[in-house]
Structure formats: structure tokens, C-alpha cells
Chains A and B, each alone.
Chain A
């Protein structure tokens, strides 16, 4: 699924790096624990999280995560957006809860990481 399609499904707003039109999201992982995120191969995986700080960006940088779906109406600050741009990470902001976001993506065919 394309990043823009996910944004549409969750009524999201795109910030950070410009959308890579060719990037395909196949899986999702929902977590606010960054060390858990670092345990797995996150290729073509969207991170669904409500953790909104610089460490979210750094973790995604290290894990090669290109798309973050930020729920609970969290608002990334300028530092976070700058880190996202520097590291080619697109953030989709949504007012929905993590549970709702997970359900929407699951229903749309996105696979769980495990």
C-alpha cells in the first residue's frame, strides 16, 4: 500500500520527508517502546506509535523505518520534523487512537510484523 493511501485511510496529515510515491508499505508494528522496535527487521513496515519525541525519530533512523503513523493527535515539533526530513522519514499525523489506526490498517490488508 502506498503512503498516500494510508494517509487517506486514517484521515492523516503528512509532514516530514516528502512522500516516496514508489514506497510500498506491507507490514505494520505498533509500539511506544523503542527498544522493541529495534528488535525487528522493519523493511517496508510502518511504525504506529503515540510516542512523539526526538527518540522516535532516532529509533526510526537506526531501524531504517521510512514511515511513521503518529496517533492520538500527537504533534511533532520542529526538531522532530527536521530529523524526519534529514533521514527520509515521512510522518502521517492522525487524531485516531493507536487501536483504531491498527484496526484500519489491518482491515485494509496491511500485515502484522509477526
Chain B
């Protein structure tokens, strides 16, 4: 099963809609709750990151019997120092993003914690692609 969603820059009113749709789909498919939670927390964090930092992007989700693969690809500033960004507490979020309840510097660490495979391709001034795989029990 394949799904595609669009990410709009700074649209916090609708941010999380894609993750919400994926959650409903996984529930309908009878996926175990623990795997659903891991997948949607990782996807939600990546979706929020893209809304907060990038200029727009797409989310592609593929679900099969063994795994959920989620690819969040954005056009944006990229991540200058990925090693720092993976550290808990490191954040470059704007005051506006912080007002929305984000910017604790836990996004990428949370994604890592909740995925079985994680790949981040980023280029400064071009964008970032986050590929996440959660294996289904």
C-alpha cells in the first residue's frame, strides 16, 4: 500500500494530518498497537520538523506485511551539523515553533528511538530526506 502527502511550510494548523491518516490506516489493518505507536511518533516528529524548518515537501508511506517505510523529503535549509542535531536538547527552532510546543531538541532523537532503520540525507541549502523503517511484529 502506498500513500503520498504534501507538507506545507509553517502550516501548524494541519501539521500532523499525514501521521494521523497513517495511524488510522495501520489501525484498520490490525497492526499491533506498539508498532503503530513507534511508526506514528517517528513520522509525526519528521512531519513537524519539515513543517517547522523546511519550505515544503512530501511524505511517502509504504506499508506491507513486514514493515512500514516512511520517507519525508523536504526542500529547505538542510541540516548543517547532523551529529549535533541527533543530540538530545539541540535545537535551531524559531520562537514561533517553540510557541507551538516544539523545539525541545528531541525530534531526531525520538525518531531514532522509534525506528528500526533510519537514514538521513541532507544538503545545506537544498533539503533533507529522512527515510524511516519500522518493522511490524
B13: chain A residues within 8 A (beta carbon): 54, 79
State in angstroms the CA–CA spacing of A61 and B40 once bound together: 9
Does A74 belong to the interface (CB within 8 Å)? no
Nearest B residue to A86 by beta-carbon distance?
Answer: B20
For the complex, would chain B's binding face be called helix, strand, loop or mixed by DSSP majority? helix
Does B53 belong to the interface (CB within 8 Å)? no
Say whether A55 contacts B16, CB under 8 Å: yes
State in angstroms the CA–CA spacing of A55 and B20 once bound together: 12
Binds A, one of B2-10, B74-82, B98-106, B121-129: B98-106
A104: chain B residues within 8 A (beta carbon): none
State in angstroms the CA–CA spacing of A77 and B120 once bound together: 37
Size range of the chain B interface in the assembly: 20 to 34
For the complex, would chain A's binding face be called helix, strand, loop or mixed by DSSP majority? helix
Q: Identify which of residues 35-70 in chain A touch chain B, using a CB-to-CB cut-off of 8 Å.
A: 35-36, 38-39, 51, 53-56, 58-59, 61-64
Which residues on B are within 8 Å of A, measured CB to CB?
12-13, 15-16, 19-20, 23, 33, 37, 40-41, 44-45, 48, 100-107, 110, 113
With A34-B100, A39-B110 already in contact, 17 other A-B pairs whose C-beta atoms are closer than 8 Å: A33-B101, A33-B102, A34-B101, A35-B104, A38-B45, A38-B110, A53-B12, A53-B100, A53-B101, A55-B12, A55-B48, A61-B16, A62-B23, A62-B37, A62-B44, A63-B37, A79-B13
